[in-house]
Structure 1
Amino acid sequence: MDPSIRILHVDDEPSFGEFVADYLERLDDEFEVLTETSPEEGIQKLRNETAVDCVVSDYDMPATTGLDFLEAVRDDYPDLPFVLYTGKGSEEIAGEAISKGATDYLQKGKGTEQYEILANRVRNAVEQYQSTKEAEETRRRLQNLAESTPHCVWVFDSEWEELLFISGYEEVWDRPTAAIKEDPRDFLQGVHPDDREFVREAMEQMSNGEPVDIEYRIVRGDGETGWVWVQGEPVFDDGGSVKSVVGFTRDVTERKHREHLLERYEQIVENLPAAVFRTTHDGRFVSMNDETVAVFDADSRDELEDRKVTELYVDTADREQLLRRVRSEGSVSGYQVEMQTLSGDEMWVEVTMRATVEDGEEYLDGVLRDVTDRRERRERLERAETVIQNAQDALFLVDVDDEYEIERANPAFQERVGLSADELIGRTPEEVFEGERATRTEQKYEQCVYERETLEYEEESHVDGETTYWSTQITPITVDDTVETIVGATRDITDRKRRERRFEEQSERFDELATAVSHDLQTPLQAARGRAELALETEDMEHVERALDAIDRTDTLRESLVEVLRTQEVVRDTEPVDIEQIGREVQTSVQLPEEHSVRIQDAPDVEADPDALRRLFQNILSNTVEHGPPDTTVWIGGLDGGFFIEDDGPGIPEAERDKVFMPGYTTKGEGSGVGLASVRQIVSAHEWTIRVVDGRRGGARFEITDVERGE
């Protein structure tokens, strides 16, 4: 057996030293004895021989004593076993030796049994030294380990009644170390109440000789809940009984939070209304959520795992472009591409994809959403937006929550109010319309919101001095039983209102005409009836002739009435008309006397119904012939915004000018009084204006304005 205990024996008698060495080595083959004859050489040997396990020294030596040698050894080797083996024994020397750190003291004897005692003393001292050294080394390594680890390292006795070692307790538990040193079970106060029984069972398990590997909650000193991971092992003595328990406690709160977040993430992924999946670099499915199965119309995940996502693109060029971008940029977001389901149905999807490398393998992580319906809605909205932007109706949105501010307004609405979109958006009725109209508008909005029904109303608008009429319809939009928006549509009804006004005016004139005709017809009819009765009574033919004259006057009135009624018809399609040509035609048809003269100069082309315009000229020229002298001259020409017809006859007195267009008005007893009334009907039907003024030569001048020039 190789020696395992090295002994340094120092004695000033070389022969004795060699004898002791030989004897000890024969007594125990684990001994190896080194001999020196002086303390100085002994110290040098210790410094050169690092593996000395025990020093045996004589006391009485020439240069110094064994106690001096002991002090020198203790300066450099405070724990090395040192046995003072001397022939000069006394209690005083023994006491001094022990006080200076000697491990043992033994007096030399005459028999060989003394060497056996020395061997036993040396072995016991070395074993104790080595045991202490190993324990210290173990403690040192444990301390180093504890100081270099974020864990709480601990050692308890088997009954958890004595704390043998602990490190990092305050860092993990946020509780004072002094408390657990005083009461080893104090750490249980830091265990979450719901987990304490579980921890007690684990402690009992280790006390019974079984290891544990558990996680549980703790409550830190600041009241925050954390998580710890504990691994513990029982330590057995030579008899197989548990003498202590050792282990570590590690703070795993962050990991538990990550695990919790991961669980939540997985739950979110599984419940997302979007397909979430991972594929290999060549497109084969690795993992997916249920929505992926649904989007691709698969029966199960297994069915998709047998396919490649790259096979499901409708256009391979789109697929390659997407993959190139992902690999070059690392990720792509919001890419829209056309794909197909396993059943062959085509769909538009929006893809977000990222390239990922794990354990040297390349993967593609994707999120895919079916946007077919959304694209169709967007296209419909775009078409609707185009319609809205180009609509002739003024369309707008009003925010109910913010004092009825305008949210949207199309160009027609902007034109209506004379403001741009930037000037309209965010403005209230008071800022847009002002005054009484603003108040009325806001009241309409309030009524719409309160009644939750569509409202229709009409209003006037005054922009740049022009009056227009509008019909507005507003409808409440309700979300979650709350009116949030008002949608409005306003239509220009100016033409309709003007037509209605013309119709009312024409109706009034027809009433006037009916009254006049009734009166005018009554007289000749009564005369004809009376003459007819006299003719029957007297058989005098003169009465018949006069009755016929009355009937002729009635027929003349009838013809005039028919002419007026014709002009009441809605003007048919208009076209550019040459006034000079119309004037020449009418001059011929009226059959003016030779003495009359018609002069036409600078007559414009106008937009009119040719037949209606022809009747207008006929009636005015006929009126001139009827009321003027035989040599009357008529002038026809253009003026700013229209044309005129003027004569040099007697004219129309200013007091009579407001009456000449009234049905039945005439200055001649045999006249019908409907000619100029017909003229006014024609002018009104064209939306023109007519007035009578003095002519430049003293006659009557008819000016027709608000006439659109022909192009």
Structure 2
Amino acid sequence: MSQWSVTILGVVLLLLTLARAAADTDDPLIDFIEVVLPFVVGIGLILGGIWLARTTPTPRVRQLSKWTLGGGIVGVAVNLWFVFIISLEQAPSGEPVVLNLNGAGIFMTAGVLLGYYATGLQAREHQLELSENRFRALTENSSFAVISIDETSTIRYANDATEALFGYPTTDLVGEPLTKLMPTRFREAHLKGLSRYLSEGARTVDCDGLELAGLRADGEEFPVEISFGEYVVDDDHLFTGVIQDISDRKAAEQQLRDHTSKVTQLHEVATEITKAASKEQVYQRTADGTVDVFPADVARVAIADGDQFVPAASSDHDLHNQCQPVSATLGYAGQSYQSGAVLRLDDLTDTRSAAQSPLQDGGPQPEANPAEPRSLLSIPLGEYGVVQAFAHEPAAFSERDEQVAEMLATHVTTALQRIEAESTIRRERDRLEEFASILSHDLRNPLNVAQGRLELIQMTGELDHVDAIDRALDRMERLIEDMLTLAREGDAVGETEPVALRTVATQAWNNVATNDAALEVEATVQIDADHSRFIQVFENLYRNAIEHGGDTVTVRVGAFDGGFYIEDTGPGIPEDEREDIFESGYTTNQDGTGFGLAIVKRIVEAHGWEIDVTAGRDGGARFEISGI
């Protein structure tokens, strides 16, 4: 209803004007002024009321109605005062007093104009107050710092988050220059840029997501991101910026860059490891590459050998010479090797102090030696061993380093497996060449003998050549049997079990045609071995002794610390031939195949043992098998 109050007042004024028009006066000019002018005002109020009803909020129209009504009342009061106080004194007695309406219309018009201005000003102030309240409610509850500055870069407003971010109370910041919150190197450029923008309108920086450095009250610099805007309030040109600490984001970005760089370096290291021609080269390149990829001061590679770790390589060759074998089940190396997982320790001081200091009751611990490593990254290399990276700084390695370490381990184990596969392929190729040599040479000789003798029988009919043919065929059969032994069994060894040395030695002796030869067993020890393959060792060594020592040779079997021996009383083996006797096909006996000792060596090495040949107590051949 209040929206139409101005219109209603206009209608009332119009009706009063028409009533006034009915009262004719003698002066047309006065009639025109007192009738037409209020009429125009009334029409204006009617139209203005309709316009206000459509464009102006109800509270403001209500205020305008009050101002208009007040203007009308003032106008009527003035008119009455003029008529009844002043005009009555001059009007003849008995004549009617004419009510003057143009004064009321003028005051009503004045009320409308003043009310429109006053209510507009109030509405504006109210809107500004609401806007400021919303702004404060938004900024005070924001986790980001919000700062407003003027054209002189003076801080006009700062929210509570600013204090948490920069360390200054907000009351101390208001009135201070913004340059107080930035490092010295940025201050001059900021002031020049602001001045240039205000004078030329040329913006030199992006106003959204600008990355700079902030300065805390304690002098610490930290990275910030600023998004700002500008606005004008009355005559003030203000700039408001939203500031957030991006230290965590920058740290994450730096970690990502470091990780990417490490992966790139790892690719280069992996390429070098892949090119390695031997396991020793793989170990050394792994140690050197670990120092290049990780923030390590030294790296060491240890290879699992039974229940021990044997030092294989180090990035520091002097330290490598000081390393000794250690247990493969103890320590951090053993822990990572047994679990197959990368182990990362941020500080070895506490562990070292607990292990070395007798004070375990909370008393003072010895100070850390700066030369000793503080951080450790232990990387298992599958079944091969571990590589350990040491750093003098605590917490030198990160979680991402563990991921890179796993990739490094994969490259290293792949390279080692490749070398083993290549070694196997070469060994098989060598065997094929041995077989080809036998087929082309050793089998050809007895075959030629048998064919030649057979031709003589056919030509002469004499059967004296049958014995030669039989010997040739027998040699061919032995060659084929030994060749099949190497081809089928190779280096393979099955499950091992404790076997008595005396029992195996005796059993093998019964399997060989010994004639008048004698066996003496001087040992009662037990050895973990593949029983069937172990017997083959003795059988071949027995045959070798009888072939070279004769039917009356004596063979002795005995034990020593860490191994056993088999020796005979034959002529022995010359010292210059001892390195050649284990080669396939090597023999000094025209009836021998040259494969017996080669088979012995492969079986011994397949068990992880070593075999050496020397002179026996009676000058014969002595084979010592050690490393058991």
* TM-score of Structure 1 vs Structure 2, range by shorter chain: 0.3 to 0.5
TM-score by length of structure 2 reads 0.40
Higher strand share: 1
- Larger Cα-atom Rg: 1
Higher helix share: 2
